[in-house]
Amino acid sequence: MRITLAIVFCLISSIGFSQENEFSELTLKGNNVFIEAPDEASVTHATNALEFWGYWTIVKDKTKANFILKFTYKNQAFGDKKGYATFLSIDNKELKKTKTVNTGMSMDFNTKRAVITKLVSKRIQPMFETE
């Protein structure tokens, strides 16, 4: 019984480790990212924010990407938005999801741009900063 539990624990641990390892390899600095978002304006805002950061190369052809970065948001009261970003493999397997951000207290009147910019600067960039 103990051996079975130990084997199950090792298998579960190795699955989590391999998924984290896959995430790290796919999202290396300089790798290609394909952006998915609810509409073209959101893709443009995400492209601008990510290009300003300069960590990855944005590609318009999904087949040339190392991974997909999907931005999701929804409307809140008074025109605010809240959203999150999901890192996906090319075969749409979820690798990691950011915590949610909202546009409350934002000085940007364009709430689509505000939520995407905040996701990049407050949730995505810190995941890859090493210093």
Going from N- to C-terminal start, the domains of the chain cover: 2-128
Q: Which of 124, 83, 79 is nearest to 101 (CA)?
A: 83
Instruction: Decide if pLDDT at 23 tops 80.
Output: yes
H or E element: which one contains 80? none
- What is the CATH number that goes with domain 2-128? 3.30.160
Q: Where are the beta strands (DSSP E) in the chain?
A: 32-36, 57-59, 67-75, 81-88, 94-97, 101-102
Q: What percent of the chain has pLDDT over 70?
A: 84
pLDDT in tens, 48-104: 999 999 999 999 999 999 999 999 999 888 888 999 999 999 999 999 999 999 998
